[in-house]
Structure 1
């Protein structure tokens, strides 16, 4: 890739290689193929001007474009598309580590300047992920993410635009048919009254969260209150459908009568079918029709189901694509191994319905195809860092899953970009490659419409309007490896102290 720092005169044809470096935020991509994604059109041989974080102009190559100064990116043979958004992720943060129930892990020396968080953010950018929706974590993790969101928005840390969700869940004992423990008093932190559910949503608004994640152990009253108050507060809702087979959770009809904005897994719908019709193919059309009629969108997370089924069948964590395993930090790797990895436990294998996991994955794939055929808006999500799913690259894996169930490559790109933008940030433009839109973009070395796997062939990204060529991202990730090695050594010492050699 040829990148110049040039001052531009009246025309791009008269570029001078002797000019001073351009001010930050001004870029020109020359002779590039633009795939806007919001329509079926492909714009070849275009010049794209990015100024102050936004796409200022898209013009035919050779047109006279006056620019005070810009960094010029050679787009010959390359394809410009919207940046990807992981619509369902659980981001590892320093705050989550400090919230660990293991005192030794909570006391890990994480150094200064958020080195751990910076590595995770760069991992997203390496995969072309310029937006990520965190669907709930610990209090410390949420605090870290809210801080990181501001740092990224202000250009102090390079990373994806973060959408931070507040998870609201009730106590399992409050809805269980046979409670295994005493039901605690309802409170906004774990509500099972409408009043406490409403209070939880209002607190999330005061704290600055971006959306609400209703979780599965809310009773009917509280679930409805959370969904409706979220709407009044201007929040979108994306999360789990209420638990089935419990004493007071919402049933299938109730959930569709009081729908969330988005359903966080197609497996949530498969659960309805597992209990209602034992995964009968006849239920696919019924469920798809109900989803379509309710107006909700769906994040299928097929790669999540595939990975869980793989752990159940193979009794091991799936391999991470390519050399991405080196970017999985030592804390996350520890979470992927027993006993932390519950998917490899005997208790997981012994649970009721475990023998239907594979059938559930197949059902979810066919259901996703039916949802697509009906025009239900789909988004790309991964549930990373579930064991085997690394931040960033798992988005590319999910895109391949969606292509394999029948989505056109262009519609896969839409699911991975503009659909999520419209879900999480509807007031900030469409997310398409259009004039006036924010410059969160991916520059590819190969055509994704010819082969969706080409989304992994990334020349660089524009994140918050700043150009980061892949060589720069890789360099900075490599620099962070020393920190990660030190973190790994600390963890090995902790493990040795717990299980000393004999």
Structure 2
């Protein structure tokens, strides 16, 4: 009888795809008590952590074993604020800079549709196993449901379109692609909440804009307070949480007093009083600081982007490349106006003051016991999906948060946004097996969250490099970005060690990456105004042909470059004079 039962259960596990994984002798990050626990074995059955043990553990035959010796295991991270209707590139927000004559908005919308699943893979490769989108569209809500349970893409939680008291003209009449719905009365508010519920959002989002009418902001905020209260009340009646965009102390205070669950930005207009900290604690409101998003706009419009190797490697290369388009747009009057305003003394002072206030407020809230959730507001211009997460946590560190505070905000804090802390956010028996195995200790240096060995999502062990397999076109675009940012290491990273560079058709100019380093490092250092504009591109299998216009100093040149890609690197380049 016993043998029969064993056979029955063995057959059951085989049919259902049940699997066991043991991560042995690993140092575990306890994000709740802020401590590292060495010598642990984490047992995963299917999609769930079924045990966390100390010492030597017997391992059954057939189980997958991951040797965690010298490695560090932390919960999967959450980016608690992204927007998938935006790509993060220059054309993402026509209400901020209207370039629809260059990039029609319907084309940008299609691009955001096409980039959704690749972006979720990109998040997962960065150790971000869950993303929260507070402000999606009905299109994305439908697509999100189709992705439920995927192991090759991060889990996504979404609100519907933002319910707003102010609607920019460019977002009107977009149907299922509308990211904003205008609400002007409490009755409309309740009706729109009920309408959204039919699309199965994970929560409701309010865009509480006090300056949309150009009048006294606090008076405007109080005018629309009944609308905000009606949305919150109707949502809570239906057991669904509410997030609010509120960047002024009075809008944030009114939102918290009205019962909101989640504030998705920092208060940026003034330093918060102790009473605000106590209010958020009493009401159990989670706050997401989004410290870097404004910099994305400022640095893009001011043409002062400083992009890291991490960004160049991990961001969508096409969206990143678009951020430099202002350097060659024909509408110089528009470009110069944006740049002049952005780099003016008045604007620079305003931005510095706002950033300082946000960081001081974050430090006070975190030290005061308010739940913080790490989030980027990725998708906005200059804040690229997935890669911007590192920028955000580094800014949190600059604000004075400890590495442990940041780790907790990036894991357990993100889980608490929508009340998922019983199943996500820490490593414990019964919780979902969303984990990140690191080669270095994140509690010693928060940047070590990027030193990813493996990602475990829904219990499946994944290799980050296999989640981000570049096409030849993406690789060539990445090298073009590195060229334009004059980043020699990122540039060389795209080339094979034995790269060959020719003058077409067959004159070998030089061979080898080290020779390339000498030539291009000198060029990047000594050439003013160096910029390559892509005029056209043809892709044929592993060959990418670029029509390029290169400016340097006061001169320029047109040419064609033919890139041959082999084994994920550029092996040969042919230049046509």
Name 1:89's counterpart in structure 2.
82
Equivalent positions of 1:72-151 (< 5 A) are: 72-91=65-84, 106=106, 116-137=115-136, 139=137, 142-151=138-147
The whole-number CA distance in structure 1 between the counterparts of 2:466 and 2:337 is 36
Alpha-carbon spacing, 1:431–1:135, altered in 2? closer, same or farther (3 Å): same
Structure 1 residue 405: deviation in Å? 2.2
293, 296, 302: which one aligns with 2:285? 296
Name the SS of the counterpart of 1:189 in structure 2: strand
Is 2:206 the partner of 1:214?
Answer: yes
Instruction: Sort the Cα spacing of 1:400 and 1:352 in 2 relative to 1 into closer, same or farther, 3 A.
Output: closer
Distance, in Å, in 2 between the alignment partners of 1:337 and 1:66 is 57
- Tell me, in whole angstroms, the C-alpha distance in 1 between the residues paired with 2:79 and 2:52: 27
Structure 1 residues 350 and 199 mapped into 2: Cα distance closer, same or farther (>3 Å)?
farther
Q: 1:64 to 1:256 in 2, by over 3 A?
A: closer
SS in 1 for 2:69: coil
Question: Structure 1 pair 121/25, CA: closer, same or farther in 2 (3 Å)?
Answer: farther
State the TM-score, normalizing by the size of structure 2. Answer: 0.65
Instruction: Specify the alignment match of 2:26 in structure 1.
Output: 32
Q: CA–CA distance in 1 between the matches of 2:254 and 2:344?
A: 30
Is residue 2:395 matched to residue 1:397? Answer: no
Find the residue that maps to 1:166 and give its secondary structure: coil
Contact kept in structure 1, 2:92 and 2:380, CA below 8 Å? no
Q: Partners in 1 of 2:92 and 2:348 — Cα distance? A: 33
Deviation at 1:288, TM superposition (A): 3.3
Deviation at 1:333, TM superposition (A): 4.0
- Structure 1, unmatched stretches of 5+, are 1-19, 180-187, 245-249, 274-280
What residue in structure 2 maps to residue 200 of structure 1? 192
Partner of 2:312: 324
Distance 1:32 1:365, change over 3 A: same
Under a length normalisation based on structure 1, what TM-score does the superposition of the two structures give?
A: 0.74
Change (3 A) 1:337 1:169: farther
Partner of 2:412: 418
Deviations 1:459-487 (A, max 9, x none): 0111222111234234x3457837989xx
Q: How far apart, CA to CA, are the structure 2 residues paired with 1:107 and 1:437?
A: 41
Q: In structure 1, the residue corresponding to 2:161 is in which secondary structure? A: strand
RMSD: 4.1
Q: Does 1:379 align with 2:373?
A: yes
Correspondence for 2:149: 154
The answer to whether the 8 Å contact 2:293/2:376 transfers is yes
Equivalent residue, structure 1, for 2:504: none
Distance 1:323 1:241 in 2: 28
Identify which of 454, 460, 475 aligns with 1:466. Answer: 460
Alpha-carbon distance change, 325 to 149 in structure 1, aligned in 2, over 3 angstroms = farther
**Cα offset for 1:420?**
1.1
1:75 Cα deviation (Å)?
A: 1.1
Q: Answer yes or no: is the 8 Å Cα contact 1:311–1:318 preserved in 2.
A: no
Q: 1:409 to 1:451 in 2, by over 3 A?
A: same
Distance in 1 between the 2:278 and 2:92 partners? Answer: 45
Unaligned segments of structure 2, at least 5 residues = 1-13, 95-99, 170-179, 210-220, 482-532, 539-546, 548-556, 559-577
Instruction: Tell me, in whole angstroms, the C-alpha distance in 2 between the residues paired with 1:381 and 1:148.
Output: 19
2:245 corresponds to which of 240, 245, 257: 240
Between Structure 1 and Structure 2, whose CA radius of gyration is higher?
Answer: 2
Local SS of the residue matching 1:316: coil
1:370 to partner: Cα distance: 0.6
Q: Distance in 2 between matches of 1:189 and 1:29?
A: 47
Give the structure 2 partner of residue 62 of structure 1. Answer: 56
Separation (CA, whole Å) in 1 of partners of 2:314 and 2:393: 22
User: Is the 8 Å Cα contact of residues 299 and 382 (structure 2) preserved in structure 1?
Assistant: no
Match of 1:51 in 2: 45
SS at match of 2:164: coil
Q: Which residue of 1 aligns with 2:400?
A: 406
For 2:378 and 2:415, the matched residues in 1 are separated by: 19
